[in-house]
Amino acid sequence: MNTLQRALDALVERIDTPAPIILADVMQENIDRMQAFADRQGLQVRPHVKTHKCVEIGRRQINAGAVGITAGNVGEAEVFAAAGFDDIFIAYPVWTAGTKGPRIRKLAETIRLRIGVDNLVAIDALADAMGDDAGRLGVVVEVDCGARRSGVAPEAAGELAAAARKRGLVPAGVFTYPGHGSAGPDARERAAQDQEAALKAAVRSLEAVGITPEVVSAGSTPTAEFATNSVITEIRPGEYVFNDLGNARLGACTQDQIALFVAGTVVSDQVPGQVILDTGTKAIGREGTPELGYSGIAGTNAVLSKLNEYHGFLPLPDGDFRPSVGTVVPVVPNHVCPVVVNFEEYIVTDSTGTSLERWAVDARGFNN
């Protein structure tokens, strides 16, 4: 029997669905595996907490050896800072509108805070927000390595770092995101090579203006195993803590290394060859395509072919998998990050399903 199904069978009478289930032993193995890889390569791990938004999981990552955490916005950083995390990088081009300027300044007074930048206007805004305390805030210049998201050309990194230094901020280094590594199994290593080339060029650009970068930061879960070049000082994987079908399809993890699934119940069987689950977009997001499916059922070839807000449409493939109304099944998401924001807590067990704890999704709803 599939590990996820076995754990679920042991829990089924004690939970309501839909519910996110964590196998804590599998999760810990994922944390330890990534940390061991980084240690072998002489890299620091700065995991991205947007994947789990959970203080307890963040502490486990720090206890395993992570140097600090990566956050996606000021709100996430505030939640984790309040819980005692004192080294945080907001890997996002924050614009200091509304209350963000004073909030950033307050954070920088109490923790080691760095923020991503990719334009001169944002650098000036951050410096204005910090005022006389500009020297407390580190900035890390984001460069584009092919994902075509945010980030300047690597050759322009030095100009931004010099501008930050001129305004009294601390130019700490450079970072990038090789998001195009998720395009397919063959894209992972190519994206990592693009990342290496971009970071090398960015380092040269900083050195040309007299700045030696303290941090040269790389992502991500799909490309982490190829982040072996000596210019890189840290990696920022996020999804590795849970993994998902997307990473399994890419070859970045195995099915046995998936540590989170959503327990879903069959609630209707009125259409021949199809059942309806209670796992719609409000439980698992909408990552996927009609061809790929929108999540899978562990241990089977079945995938959700369509989602409404509260309905998951599950065509039944040929074979023995014929769940009846009332059956609870393990739904494995294509992409785990959009799942966690839908729930206030995790149900935490292990591969046997004998234990049961509940951990808060502490930073849920903190999106600015």
Pick from 222, 240, 239, 238: nearest CA to 48: 238
Q: Measured between alpha carbons, how far is 105 from 139 in angstroms, rounded to an integer?
A: 13
Q: Measured between alpha carbons, how far is 347 from 15 in angstroms, rounded to an integer?
A: 8
Cα 310 to its chain centre, rounded Å, is 25
Find the radius of gyration of the CA atoms of the chain: 22
- Plot region of 79 (φ>0 → left; ψ -120 to 50 → alpha; else → beta): alpha
The token pair at 39 is: 């240690």
Categorize the per-residue pLDDT at 210 as very low, low, confident or very high, splitting at 50, 70 and 90: very high
pLDDT above 90 for 320: no
Domains 3-22+252-360 and 43-242 share a fold: no
Cis, peptide link before residue 222, omega less than 30° from 0: no
Cα 235 to its chain centre, rounded Å, is 12
Average pLDDT over residues 339-356: 96
CATH match for 43-242 among 2.40.30.10, 3.40.190.10, 3.20.20.10, 3.20.20.80? 3.20.20.10
Cα 43 to its chain centre, rounded Å, is 18
Task: Tell me the domain boundaries of the chain.
Answer: 3-22+252-360, 43-242
Q: Measured between alpha carbons, how far is 222 from 192 in angstroms, rounded to an integer?
A: 9
Average pLDDT over residues 207-225: 97
Orientation angle between helical segments 55-64 and 74-82, nearest 10 degrees: 70
Q: Return the sign of the alpha-carbon dihedral for residues 56, 60, 63, 69.
A: negative
Predicted pLDDT at 361: 98
Average pLDDT over residues 313-330: 94
Q: How many helices (H) and strands (E) does the chain have?
A: 11, 17
First to last CA, the chain: 42
Q: What is the DSSP letter of 14?
A: G
Q: What is the DSSP letter of 310?
A: S
Q: What mean pLDDT is reported for the chain?
A: 97
pLDDT above 70 for 48: yes
Q: What is the pTM of this model?
A: 0.97
Q: How far is CA 41 from CA 19, 166, 227, in A?
A: 37, 34, 9
Predicted pLDDT at 318: 86
CATH match for 3-22+252-360 among 3.40.50.10490, 3.40.47.10, 2.40.37.20, 3.30.360.10? 2.40.37.20
Q: How far is CA 118 from CA 99, 175, 210, in A?
A: 21, 10, 19
Categorize the per-residue pLDDT at 1 as very low, low, confident or very high, splitting at 50, 70 and 90: low
